[in-house]
Amino acid sequence: MIKISIIIPVYNVEKYLSGCLDSIISQTFSDFEIICINDGSTDESLRVLQEYKNKDNRIKIIDKQNEGSGIARNLGLSIATGEYVYFVDSDDWLEDNTVLEKIYNAAEKDVLDILIFGGYSCYTKCGKLIKWKGKYKLESLNRKYFKNVFGAKDIKKDIFKFPSTAWTKLYRREFLTGNDIKFQQIKVGQDQLIFFHSMILAKRIKVLNEYLYCYRKERKGSVTAVKHKKNYSPVYVTRAIEELLKKLDKTSEYLELAIDRYFSKATSWLGRFDKDLKPEYYSEYLELLTHIQNSCNGWWKYYNPTISDGYWRLKIKQFIAKLKYRLSK
């Protein structure tokens, strides 16, 4: 069996794709396959993939119509054969040539479902590459997570302190497929569902206290760079998480915690949404708010946003609602 399946969705990244692939094929660890899903690229990305495939037979190419990275990653997972699965974005790169060796050895040593590690946000300023830990930092985690193997039952209160991105995880493939853990089919935030789903089911998790991945921040044309352009992802994530918890019969354990996290994200987006598109988002957001007010106890029962509220006014209203909820207990 191949040890690692590396799954890479590819869409219009001809400028960066070589750097991504070079960082992988130059690894000291060699027992892997690279599954590249060309998701309907309109530039020369497919040509670059074919050139690399001709040089390295570990590369497999799936050429398909554009449907988004969530569907592409799920497709890659469905054909992967590796003991472990690693998801890489096609405009990013691995920090050095020992990354795969480090993460495989760490996961194999403790027979893990999930190995978690850190990543850098990278951008260029005045011609110089800047690496920043940002929201992918590990310092906020309790030190016990670096020393011992732990499971879902051990981290309920800390679950959202862990980085949620797919590329800061090495997953045991059978753990994902056996539990039907997949990416959500939305434009942005596809990895939130797989993060939450896996973290509430995994029995063997450990953190490797190293920064091994380089994420290219704010690339022009990337989905994160245009995330508020008619994109309702936080609303869809909140709904998907609720449906997941119902399916797993875990609403009593996690629903209030999850809604607090993901509805708060949807609220932040409301305050920053493009003005011309905000009414459409507000309609979706208000429908979600009404639903969770009727279905789950929490601070949102005391929350009354309006479409004219800006980011900070929404935050103040949210703070007051949380205070009222705490006092009501």
What pLDDT was estimated at residue 240?
A: 95
Residues 10 and 134 in one domain: yes
Residues 46 and 180 in one domain: yes
Number of Cβ within 10 Å of residue 90's Cβ equals 28
DSSP secondary structure letter of residue 226? G
User: Which domain range does residue 148 map to?
Assistant: 4-225
* Contacts with 206 (C-beta within 8 Å, 6 or more apart), sequence order: 106, 110, 112, 114, 115, 116, 145, 148, 149, 150
Of the pLDDT bands very low, low, confident and very high (cuts 50, 70, 90), residue 289 is very high
Residues 262 and 137 in one domain: no
pLDDT at 218 over 70: no
Residues 195 and 319 in one domain: no
Residues 67 and 12 in one domain: yes
pLDDT, one tens digit per residue, over 50-108 is 999 999 999 999 999 999 999 999 999 999 999 999 999 999 999 999 999 999 999 99
Rounded Cα distance between 169 and 138, Å, is: 13
- The SS3 call for residue 329 is coil
Q: Which amino acid is at 54?
A: N
Stretch 113-130: mean pLDDT:
87
Q: In Å, what is the CA distance from 206 to each residue of 82, 103, 116, 160, 196?
A: 20, 11, 6, 15, 16
What pLDDT was estimated at residue 79?
A: 97
In this structure, what token pair is assigned to residue 245? Answer: 């918890």
Which of 186, 201, 225 finishes a domain?
Answer: 225
pLDDT at 132 over 70: yes
pLDDT, one tens digit per residue, over 148-180 is 999 999 999 999 999 999 999 999 999 999 999
Percent of the chain whose pLDDT exceeds 90: 81
What pTM was computed for the model?
A: 0.92
